[in-house]
């Protein structure tokens, strides 16, 4: 099954120009309407302004898309589409259906299209209580298998952060703090958990990508890129909203795909929209760093 790159993405890949993949679940499930469409357009614009071609990834009418038209982007933002991880792809393609791709599915499709760098907000990970529920995002296992570089602000504090870091280690995923050894927790600059490695700039990340390839490893690289402290969510507001949202998810007995979107939406409501503004800043910040990494990787000797 071939990926259908847009003409713009196909030309950039052919000419060896930098391309950055963007996921679509953040548009369909991660951000509320109508801000989501505007955000999706802005994300692409940030890349273009740095001379990088955006490739927003989704499945539309049974085709794997890398690079969407304006109408296609609007479909992802406005239609009720399912959230797709890798195991859903054969099913949706077999039924000629459509859907938005998670970090896992976006990584898989981007790699098949020949795209090496991907920007998102936060990764999925090990949920709290996973030793009972077994709820661990397929983002982790897929990043152990796909040589993509994904820039994220760590994982959300809705997850079990130390367990997520342990699983990334087991799965062989390379984790680099971007100018820090302090793993971020999405809305907050620091999770308090220390990483083994930091990269000082985009060229350092490109050098790691190069040596990963030279070693014949297929593992992904997570570039953990924190927001500056002055832009983080107020930690007191954060802790209160988080506690309530987690208790509500528990009381509702949510499971599977529903858990992450429910928690994200409730935290936006409980913080009076503050978490949403921070979420958008995080995505912008990660996209800007991903652009620099894609440029460095394209120029790497």
Residues in contact with ligand PSU by CB under 6 A are: 23, 25-26, 29-30, 102-104, 121-122, 124, 137-139, 156, 257, 260, 264
- In the complex with ligand PSU, the residue whose CB is nearer, 23 or 72, is 23
Please indicate if the annotation marks 135 as binding a ligand: yes
Task: Report H helices in 147-201.
Answer: 161-170
Query: Which residues form the interface with Mn ion (CB under 5 A)?
Result: 135
Please indicate if the annotation marks 298 as binding a ligand: no
25 interface partner picked from Mn ion, ligand PSU, none, CB below 5 to 8 A per type: ligand PSU
CA 208 remoteness from chain centre: 20
Catalytic annotation present for 252? no
Please indicate if the annotation marks 138 as binding a ligand: yes
Please indicate if the annotation marks 83 as binding a ligand: yes
Catalytic annotation present for 156? yes
Task: Report H helices in the chain.
Answer: 7-14, 25, 35-49, 70-78, 89-94, 103-113, 130-133, 138-143, 161-170, 202-214, 235-252, 259-270, 274-299
Task: Single out the catalytic residue among 44, 72, 136, 156.
Answer: 156
In angstroms, what is the minimal distance from the CB of 66 to ligand PSU?
A: 16
What sign results for the dihedral spanned by CA atoms 226, 230, 231, 235?
Answer: positive
In angstroms, what is the minimal distance from the CB of 6 to Mn ion?
A: 30
**β-bridge mates for residue 4, sequence order:** 65
Parallel, antiparallel or unpaired: strands 63-66 and 3-5: parallel
In angstroms, what is the minimal distance from the CB of 181 to ligand PSU?
A: 22
> Which residues form the catalytic set?
23, 156
Summarize the annotated binding site for Mn(2+) as residue ranges: 135
């Amino acid at each position: 099954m071939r990926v259908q790159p847009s003409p713009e993405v196909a030309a950039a890949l052919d000419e060896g120009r930098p391309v950055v993949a963007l996921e679509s679940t953040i548009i369909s499930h991660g951000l509320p309407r109508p801000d989501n469409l505007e955000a999706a357009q802005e994300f692409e614009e940030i890349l273009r302004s740095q001379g990088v071609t955006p490739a927003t990834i989704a499945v539309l009418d049974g085709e794997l898309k890398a690079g969407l038209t304006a109408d296609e982007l609007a479909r992802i933002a406005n239609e009720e589409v399912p959230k797709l991880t890798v195991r859903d792809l054969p099913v949706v393609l077999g039924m000629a259906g459509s859907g938005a791709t998670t970090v896992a599915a976006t990584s898989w499709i981007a790699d098949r299209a020949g795209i090496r760098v991907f920007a998102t907000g936060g990764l999925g990970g090990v949920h709290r209580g996973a030793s009972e529920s077994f709820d661990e995002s397929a983002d982790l296992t897929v990043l152990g298998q796909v040589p993509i570089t994904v820039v994220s602000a760590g994982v959300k504090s809705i997850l079990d952060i130390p367990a997520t870091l342990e699983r990334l280690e087991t799965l062989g995923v390379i984790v680099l703090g971007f100018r820090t050894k302090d793993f971020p927790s999405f809305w907050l600059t620091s999770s308090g958990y220390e990483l083994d490695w930091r990269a000082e700039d985009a060229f350092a990340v490109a050098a790691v990508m190069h040596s990963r390839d030279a070693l014949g490893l297929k593992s992904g690289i997570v570039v953990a890129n924190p927001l500056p402290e002055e832009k983080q969510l107020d930690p007191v507001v954060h802790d209160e909203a988080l506690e309530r949202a987690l208790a509500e998810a528990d009381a509702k007995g949510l499971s599977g795909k529903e858990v992450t979107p429910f928690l994200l939406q409730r935290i936006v409501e409980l913080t009076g929209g503050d978490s949403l503004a921070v979420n958008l800043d995080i995505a912008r910040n990660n996209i800007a760093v991903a652009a620099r990494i894609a440029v460095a990787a394209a120029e790497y000797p």
